[in-house]
Structure 1
């Protein structure tokens, strides 16, 4: 069923898989028009768009590297050309490296980690602020940054660089929320814990969520849909007075 959120427009970075895909489909269920950004897997992005449309929303797939300013501007342009002015951004695109001792990290690993997870998140948030701020002609709106519980746990012995990059996202969230509130923009972050998505396999540990999820207070890994529920709540009217918040979706970890 399409809800009263119909007619609203969102861009979701890294929207073709995992948490981003779950957010896109759930937004579609609530009648949103969704720009699904992806880096390279066009097939997965198109499948996500089809799922959004089947759920009751509208969708387009937009290729782009969030660490490239020109790509970021182009993906926002494409979303607004297709649907109209943006109401929300789910700033979700991110990468993780393989489990490795910090002393063995290569420069290239750390550079790409911070390009995508920090610079990319900042570029996308900046572009959203430029387009959604009421003093700049926007409608106001909501930015949801996808952080990680690693930002407060540190990920020792696994990927301290990833944890640090998400710490930067947390700090950006608090600062932007306070700066942009007068412009009609709310900014919050979600910090997922052990969520059963493909990101663990990309870091070389496909069984990580199930293995470590069993050690959480709730005794299991979370699902992408459980994270999406929180993200979609943050872009809809029920969270109108919420900004500068870091919400852990981590099973008590």
Structure 2
């Protein structure tokens, strides 16, 4: 399928690693011109070096929780690559309280709110400034936790992911008359660098047991739906949430088909 992304300008925030980097890579393979950002310069420059082999890339260190920094970044993208056609809000972080802490501090909650919600709001608004006279696509990367929350150290993150899902609906309503679509992609448990390094065998067994496909996802398996949402194949989609979780947390007996298959082998 031709997604119509050749020579289109696409921004991917939080793109120095993981899902963001995989998305930027695939967009370049589709012929797009890609702008990426991160708060960590060393990781950003490594990603820039890799991606530049595939096509036109602009990279900038940006704190997406800072409103004016986000708008300045968008202006720089337009100056370097041209008007923005698609924007992927992918900024995120593993933000937890300490193992011996029972309560969340105000400072930690503010940090979580900034990274998990404000960054998406500012990204949507920056994208709309460039798109409102020509249309475009905004994709907010949320989480399966926006539908099926977890309890524990990262508890406040999940309600903010649900807020991000609703943000796509409300922003989609605000921007519809201008031909700007806003959608959400909700990844499940994906083997990013962080998860690869920090997932114990016991936790992986638990994750797989609760997933219809009985395995975790890979970054490219999330990047492909994101890229689809950026292109012309999704022009009648807005305010939608696309879950990419392998069917985690959907049924009470997720291993049913695997058990039935084994019975038929006997």
TM-score over 0.5 (shorter chain):
yes
CA distance in 1, matches of 2:24, 2:196: 22
- Give the deviation of 1:94 after TM superposition: 1.1
1:92 corresponds to: 90
On the 8 A contact 1:35/1:61 being kept in 2, the answer is: yes
User: Which of residues 201, 208, 216 in structure 2 aligns to 1:214?
Assistant: 208
Per the alignment, do residues 157 and 101 of structure 1 end up closer, same or farther by CA in structure 2, a change over 3 Å counting?
A: farther
**Given that residues 193 and 249 in structure 1 are in contact (C-alpha distance below 8 angstroms), is that contact kept between their aligned partners in structure 2?**
yes
Q: Tell me whether 1:126 sits opposite 2:130 in the alignment.
A: no
| RMSD of Structure 2 on Structure 1 (CA) | 2.1
The aligned counterpart of 1:181 is 176
Distance 1:108 1:211 in 2: 34
Partners of 1:94 and 1:211 in 2: CA distance: 25
Decide whether aligned partners of structure 1 residues 248 and 101 sit closer, same or farther in structure 2, where only a CA change above 3 A counts: farther
What aligned pairs does 1:72-91 form with structure 2 within 5 A after superposition? 72-91=70-89
Match of 2:161 in 1: 166
How far the C-alpha of 1:238 sits from its partner, in A, is 1.0
Length-normalised TM-score, structure 2:
0.85
On the 8 A contact 2:139/2:185 being kept in 1, the answer is: yes
- Distance in structure 1 (CA, Å) of the matches to 2:206 and 2:139: 26
**Preserved contact between residue 128 and residue 180 of structure 2 (Cα < 8 Å):** yes
In structure 1, stretches of 5+ residues that fail to align are: none
How many equivalent residue pairs? 244
Q: Contact 2:38–2:60 at 8 Å: present in 1 too?
A: yes
**Equivalent position of 2:220 in the other structure:** 225
Q: Which has the larger radius of gyration?
A: 2
1:135-154 residue CA offsets vs partner (Å, 9 max, x unmatched): xxxx2100000000101112
Structure 2, unaligned runs of 5 or more: 249-266
Give CA-to-partner distance per residue, 1:81-115, whole Å, 9 cap, x none: 11000001000001122376994222222110001
Q: CA deviation at 1:201?
A: 7.3
Distance in 1 (alpha carbons) for counterparts of 2:245 and 2:80: 35
Deviations 1:213-236 (A, max 9, x none): 322111111011100000000011
3-state DSSP class of the match of 1:115?
Answer: helix
TM-score (norm 1): 0.89
Deviation at 1:45, TM superposition (A): 1.7
Native 8 Å contact 1:212 1:221 kept in 2: no
SS of the residue aligned with 2:52?
helix
After TM superposition, list the pairs within 5 Å mapping 1:189-208 onto structure 2. 189-200=184-195, 205-207=198-200
- 2:193 & 2:164 partners in 1: Cα distance? 21
* In structure 1, C-alpha distance between the alignment counterparts of 2:206 and 2:19, rounded to whole Å: 18
Range with bigger deviation, 14-23 or 107-116: 107-116
Provide the residue aligned with 2:259 in structure 1: none
The alignment partner of 1:144 has SS state of strand
